[in-house]
Amino acid sequence: MAEKAVLYTVKPEWLTEYKSNELSSNFADSGIDPAEFMLEGRIDGVYKDGDTTVICEIKSADEHPASAAKAHYLQAAVYAFIESRELPADAKLRIDIIYGLYSDHDDLKIYSFAETPESVSRFLRPYAVRYGCFVRLMNVHNDRIRQQLRELPFIFDRFREGQRRLSVNVYNTLAPFDGSVLLCQAPTGIGKTAGTLYPALKAMRFSDGEKSAIFYFTARGEGARPPFDALKLAGQNAGELRYCVLTAKDKICSFEAAAGGSGNNRNFKCDPENCDAGREHYDRVDAAIQEAILGPERCFDRRFISVLARKHCVCPFELMLDLSEFCDVIICDYNYLFDPESFLRRYFEGKGGQFFFLIDEAHQLPDRVRSMYSAYLNASDFAKLAKGKKRLRIGKNCLKTAEFIEQGSDLLFEQGTDPCSKEPVPGGLLSKEFLQQLDQFTNAAAEYLESHENDALRLQYFDVLHFMKMHEVAKDGGFTLRTTGEEGDRTVSLVCIDPARIIHDKCALGRGTVLFSGSLLPANYYSGQLGYPDAPFVQFESPFPRENLLVLAATGFDTRYKYRADSYGRLAAFIVALGTALKKGNYIVYFNSYSYLESVLELIPEDFRDGCVFVQPRSSDAALRKEFLDGFRQEPDGLRLGFCVLGGNFSEGVDLPGTRLSGTIIVGTGLPQVGDNTELMRSYYESQQEGYGYNNAYFYPGINKVIQAAGRVIRTETDRGFVLLIDRRYRFYDHRAALPASWQLEAYSNEQKIIDRIVAFISQI
C-alpha cells in the first residue's frame, strides 16, 4: 500500500467522458470459512497506462477525509482485485483515488498506490477472514430463528375480535414474497401492531438465505413503543429474535464534536475529522459489533447502542446501522425508506434483499412524503450570504442566484412546460440557465467551505443540492414550480403535489408491504394517495361496544372561517357551562388552529381557567409533551380541560386509557387552512377528475384529523367516554357519511340538551 499523492493541474483525457461499470467476481480461499465470497461493485474507471492497469475510484469531495481514507482505499482495492483476476500475479496495477473532479476548477488531487494482483489479494484476505466470521454467525442465527419462527405461537393468549382476520390477510400478502401490497383500515382496539407483526414474523421463516428483515415504519418517535413491546413479548418464545429501534443521528450522538444537537438536525453538524469516535470508527467497530451479537441482548435500542459506542469509542449512529444488519426486525421512521436524503442506502440502493414493509399510521404518509420532496429557495437568503463576500467567488454566485429568483418565471422556468403536470416533463421544469447557476453556486460554496466555517452557507448549500435533486424527480410529474413573495424576498418553490408515484416506487423495493391505519377512509381516496388504487383494501369494525362511546354534534355553531369570530364568545361560554356541569374528569378541547384556541381562551373567565384549563405547549420538546400528558391522571379529583390543536402532537399518537381521558370536544371540521400549496393541490386534483379537487385537498384530510382526535377517547374495551363535534356542517349528509359507521351520531342545536346528555352519560362511568 505504497501511497504517493500526485497533483494534476489538467484533467486526464479519459476523465472527460468516463463511464462506470458493474463488476463482480468470487473471492476464493480454502483457508477461510466460508471459502468463497461474491464481490460486487461499480468501478468508476479503468484504463491502461503503458503496461500498468489503472483502477480509478472517484470521490465527490475536493480532498480526502482522513477518517475515510482507509475505507476509500479498501473499496478501490476490491475493484482492483476483481479487474485483475485474469492477470499474472506480478502484473502491474495502480489504484488512483481521485478527489476534486466535480469542482469547476481544473486541479485534481489523485492518491496513487502501486500494487500487483498478489498484493491486492494479500491485503484483502484479513478483511475476508473478519467478514467470514460475521457470515458464520449470521448463518447460525438465520437457521435458528427460522426454526423458532415456525414454532412461534401468537404473542398474546388469544386473538382479539377481528385480529385473526387481520393477521390472515397480512400473512397471505407477505408469504409469497412477490411484492404484494395490502391496505388496512384497522381501528384502535383491534390490535393492529401484533396483528401485523406476528404474521410478518411467521412469513419471514420462508426467506431463502438472502438478507431479510421486517421494517416497521412509524410516523413519529412515540410510534416505536407498541412494536417494541410486542417484539419483547414475541422474544419470550423466540430467543434468537433480534430487533432494533433506529434513532436520528442528532439524537443518538453524544460526542462533543457534533455541534448543535438536541434533536434539531438542521443545526447538527457531524464532523468525523474532529471527533474521537469518527476518526478511528472503522478500525474499532468490528469489536463493538462482535460484542453485541455474541452477547445476551436481543434488543438494540438507543440506550444499549449509546453505552456500547462509548465503550468502544465508535460513532453510535454508524454502529446502530451496522447492528441493524444483524436484526430480524427494524423499527424506524418513514424517513429511512421514503426520504430522498436519509433513506437507508445499505438496504434500498442496488440489489436489495427480502424485506417486508409494515407502514403504520399510513394516513400520514402522503403529507410526509410531500414535505420530504418539496424544496424552496429564497432570494433574500442568498443576498444575506453575499454580505461581506461580494468580491469573492461565493459572494458573486450568491448574488447571481438571488438575481435569477428575483427576476421570476422568465429566467427560472423552461419555456413550454406545464408547471403543474401529472405527466413526465423530460427536460425538467427549470431553465437550463438557472440550473447552471445553481451548479455554479454549489461549486463555489463547496470551495469556500473547505477553508471557512459558515453554518448558514453550509445549510444553504445542502438546500440547493436538495432542490436540484428534487428537480430530477419532478421530471416524472406530480410536482409544481412557482414563485411567490414580494420584490426583494421572492421564493422559488418546487412543490410535491401528488406523492403517489414516489410512495409506490419506494414500496416496490420490498417483497411485501402492508399500509395500515386506524383512519384510512374513504378507501378510494387513500389508496390513490398511497399509489395503489387497485390494491386489496380490508376494513375492520371497532371491537369495542358501541354503547361505550357517545357521539354528539352541536350544530348551532358556525365555525367557518368568515364566521369564526362570531363563535368565540358562545364557545367560551359553552365550554365553561359544560365544564361546570361535569365538575370533574379529564377532557380535551381541539381547535383548528392555535389562533382560534387563543381567541376562545381569552374569553374564558380567569377564575374558571386557573387550575383546570391547560394549553398544549407550542414546543415539540419531548419532556414538555410528557409533562402535559402526565397531568391527565386516572381517577381525577377535579376538572382538567386540555386545549389542543387539531392535527398536532396531541391529537394523534396519544394513549390515555381509562379515566385519563373521558371525552373530547372537537371544534370545526378540521379543514386545512387555505394557502398556496393546498390551493395548488385543489387545482391539480380537480384537473385529474372533476369534483375531486376540494375533497382531496381539504375535506378528506380535515375529516381524518377529526377521526384521529376522536380516537383518543376509547383505548380499551372497558373505556367509556364521549366525542362532541361542534359545527353546523355535521347536519349534512356528506359530513355524516364520512364519519365511521360505528358512530351513532346524535345532533342537537340546543346547547343545554347537549350538556344534559353528556352529564347523564358521564355519571354512569
166 in any annotated domain: no
What tens digit of pLDDT does each residue of 671-724 get? Answer: 999 988 899 899 999 988 888 899 999 999 999 999 999 999 999 989 999 999
Distance of CA 98 to the CA centre of its chain: 33
**Would you call 555 helix, strand, or coil by DSSP?**
coil
What tens digit of pLDDT does each residue of 151-208 get? Answer: 999 999 999 989 999 999 999 999 999 999 999 999 988 999 999 999 999 999 988 7
pLDDT confidence bin for 602, thresholds 50/70/90: very high
Domain boundary among 114, 130, 146: 130
Q: Is the distance from CB of 758 to CB of 724 less than 8 angstroms? A: yes
More confident: 264 or 631: 631
pLDDT reading at 261 higher than 50: no
Same domain, 488 and 582: no
pLDDT reading at 391 higher than 90: no
415 in any annotated domain: yes
668 in any annotated domain: yes
Q: Is the distance from CB of 288 to CB of 314 less than 8 angstroms? A: yes
Same domain, 551 and 495: no
pLDDT reading at 313 higher than 70: yes
Same domain, 481 and 568: no
More confident: 642 or 90: 642
Same domain, 584 and 701: yes
Rounded-to-integer distance, Cα 318 and Cα 313, Å: 12
Same domain, 551 and 488: no
* DSSP letters spanning 700-733: HHHHHHHHHHHTTS--STT--EEEEEE-GGGGSH
723 in any annotated domain: yes
Same domain, 16 and 105: yes
pLDDT reading at 4 higher than 70: no
Rounded-to-integer distance, Cα 406 and Cα 387, Å: 17
Q: What's the pLDDT score for residue 262?
A: 41
pLDDT reading at 19 higher than 90: no
Place of cell 385537498: 697
Domain boundary among 130, 158, 186: 130
Q: What's the pLDDT score for residue 10?
A: 45
What tens digit of pLDDT does each residue of 317-349 get? Answer: 999 999 999 999 999 999 999 999 999 999 998
- Which whole number is the average pLDDT over 34-59? 83
SS3 per-residue string spanning 648-705: CCCCCCCCCCHHHCCEEEEECCCCCCCCHHHHHHHHHHHHHCCCCHHHHHHHHHHHHH
More confident: 67 or 307: 307
Nearest C-alpha neighbor of 729 from the set 645, 658, 667: 667
- Which whole number is the average pLDDT over 242-263? 73
Rounded-to-integer distance, Cα 615 and Cα 600, Å: 12
Positive or negative: CA dihedral 122, 126, 132, 138: negative
pLDDT reading at 414 higher than 90: no
- Residue ranges in 297-354 assigned as alpha helix (H): 302-312, 316-324, 335-338, 345-348
Structural domain for 410, as ranges: 371-501
pLDDT reading at 351 higher than 80: no
Q: What's the pLDDT score for residue 20?
A: 63
pLDDT confidence bin for 443, thresholds 50/70/90: very high
Torsion angle (degrees, nearest 10) of CA 188, 190, 194, 199? -130
What tens digit of pLDDT does each residue of 93-121 get? Answer: 999 888 865 555 456 778 888 999 999 98
Same domain, 558 and 702: yes
43 in any annotated domain: yes
pLDDT reading at 256 higher than 60: no
pLDDT confidence bin for 451, thresholds 50/70/90: confident
- How many other C-beta atoms are found inside a 10 Å radius of the C-beta of residue 621? 12
Q: Is the distance from CB of 531 to CB of 200 less than 8 angstroms? A: no
Q: What's the pLDDT score for residue 137?
A: 87
Rounded-to-integer distance, Cα 239 and Cα 508, Å: 31
Q: What's the pLDDT score for residue 264?
A: 46
538 in any annotated domain: no
Rounded-to-integer distance, Cα 557 and Cα 575, Å: 13
Rounded-to-integer distance, Cα 217 and Cα 315, Å: 24
Same domain, 739 and 594: yes
Q: What's the pLDDT score for residue 37?
A: 74
pLDDT reading at 257 higher than 50: no
Instruction: For residue 114, give every residue at least 6 positions away whose Cβ sits within 8 Å of its Cβ, in sequence order, or none.
Output: 2, 4, 92, 93, 94
Cβ burial, residue 568 (10 Å; 0-12/13-18/19+): middle
Same domain, 596 and 486: no
Which grid cell is 53?
492497469
Q: What's the pLDDT score for residue 107?
A: 61
Same domain, 30 and 97: yes
Q: What's the pLDDT score for residue 260?
A: 44
More confident: 652 or 264: 652
What tens digit of pLDDT does each residue of 278-310 get? Answer: 778 888 999 999 999 999 999 999 999 999 999
What tens digit of pLDDT does each residue of 575-585 get? Answer: 999 999 999 99
pLDDT reading at 516 higher than 70: yes
Same domain, 590 and 711: yes
Helix axes 393-407, 432-451, angle to 10 degrees: 150
- Which whole number is the average pLDDT over 641-670? 94
pLDDT reading at 396 higher than 90: yes
Same domain, 600 and 657: yes
Q: What's the pLDDT score for residue 477?
A: 87
- Which whole number is the average pLDDT over 721-748? 96
55 in any annotated domain: yes
pLDDT reading at 69 higher than 80: no
pLDDT reading at 263 higher than 50: no
- DSSP designation for 505: H
pLDDT reading at 7 higher than 60: no
- In the chain, the percentage of residues whose pLDDT exceeds 90 is 63
Which segment, 25-29, 373-377, 446-450, is predicted with the most confidence on average?
Answer: 373-377
Instruction: For residue 189, give every residue at least 6 positions away whose Cβ sits within 8 Å of its Cβ, in sequence order, or none.
Output: 160, 542, 543, 544, 714, 715, 716, 717
Q: What's the pLDDT score for residue 85?
A: 83
Q: Is the distance from CB of 634 to CB of 660 less than 8 angstroms? A: yes
142 in any annotated domain: no
Domain boundary among 480, 501, 522: 501
* Mean pLDDT over each residue of the chain, to the nearest integer: 88
Rounded-to-integer distance, Cα 193 and Cα 482, Å: 41
Q: Is the distance from CB of 85 to CB of 38 less than 8 angstroms? A: no
Which grid cell is 173?
400478502
Number of domains in the chain: 3
Which grid cell is 277?
469516535
Instruction: For residue 498, give every residue at least 6 positions away whose Cβ sits within 8 Å of its Cβ, in sequence order, or none.
Output: 422, 477, 478, 684, 685
Q: What's the pLDDT score for residue 67?
A: 58
* DSSP letters spanning 593-607: SHHHHHHHHTTS-HH
Pairing of strands 639-645, 180-185: unpaired
Nearest C-alpha neighbor of 188 from the set 591, 654, 761: 654
